[in-house]
Amino acid sequence: MRAQSSAIAPSGIAVGDPEASTGGRSSGTLQAALGVLAFSLTFPATAWGLEGFGPWSLIAVRSILAAVIAGGCLLVLRVAFPERRHWAGLAVVGAGVVLGFPLLTTLALQTSTTAHAAVVVGLLPLTTALFSALRIGTRPSRTFWLAALAGAAAVIAFTVQQSGGALTSADAYLFAALLVCAAGYTEGGRLARVMPGWHVIGWALVLCLPLTVPMAAVALSFEPVQLTAHSVTGLLWVAAGSQFLGLVVWYRGMAAIGIPKASQLQLAQPLLTLVWSVLLLGEHLTVAAPLTAAAVLVCIAVTQRARG
């Protein structure tokens, strides 16, 4: 009997082995889901951080702390510097995920509630899938798009209803954040196919240090800082949880199951954010939450089964 050959993908998953492929997809889905869970705490943690830090200080310091963690891991494990052909992609990840999205959403959260800001997260899966189709050439099926649109519509309706249906001056920040984050996710997912996911975000964080260090020095000199339990906890979470560990498992998940399908798991993120907002910030949740959660879970199940 001829032995079946298999190749090893950059993520370490055997390609050509049905059992390994199935296990790799399951592991990828789990890792992407853990990334979504980490991201769902970002807005409440940012709100906590803003209790003691100014917006520019919070963004700069969180990026530096995350870069120190990532840089330490890269140094200890003696990871080689990325090849020159990957620098442009890492710059897109840094501009979108390390700097752009955190800065724009933090500025928005100064005048917006976490419920309203969650509209961005509700639209992010669709925007990421669109960027993926344009950048990488993925072509999800019609069923995939219909389920994604339905899930996004449910999330948008719910979050807009939570905020009273009124648009705020923070909307420009939120929609700009949506675009830059989708670009960063797409480029990071592409790079995670050829290098470990944590290398992607690790190098992106380190490469942003020439910008974040001067930014922190200037911001801290102008913005007052008040260290409290909430502000320190919020800062530590957005630095270690959201900006490093969450992105590590997120990019690994995208590399294993594909950018479009991984991005649809984020349809659950606004609902998780609202739950955390109730528990951590004391915001009120309406009876529409379980109905929307059920609709989103159905949409996620459909997108995971749809073949692109």
What are the tens digits of pLDDT across the range 201-213?
899 999 999 999 9
Q: How far apart are CA 61 and CA 245, in angstroms?
A: 17
Q: Phi and psi for 263 in degrees, rounded to 5?
A: -65, -30
Are 101 and 181 within 8 A, CB to CB? yes
The pTM assigned to this predicted structure is 0.79
Q: Name the least confident of 81-85, 171-175, 263-267.
A: 263-267
Q: How confident is the model at residue 5 (pLDDT cuts 50, 70, 90)?
A: very low
Whether residue 3 has pLDDT greater than 60: no
Q: Which of the pair, 245 or 305, is modelled with greater confidence? A: 245
pLDDT at 151: 82
pLDDT at 131: 84
Q: Which of the pair, 265 or 220, is modelled with greater confidence? A: 220
pLDDT at 17: 37
pLDDT at 133: 78
Q: pLDDT averaged over the chain?
A: 82
Q: How confident is the model at residue 295 (pLDDT cuts 50, 70, 90)?
A: confident
| The residue count for the chain | 308
pLDDT per residue as tens digits for the range 37-58: 999 999 999 999 999 999 999 9
Q: Which of the pair, 26 or 241, is modelled with greater confidence? A: 241
SS3 8: strand
Write out the two tokens for 250: 């997120």
Q: Phi and psi for 235 in degrees, rounded to 5?
A: -60, -45
Q: How far apart are CA 132 and CA 190, in angstroms?
A: 9
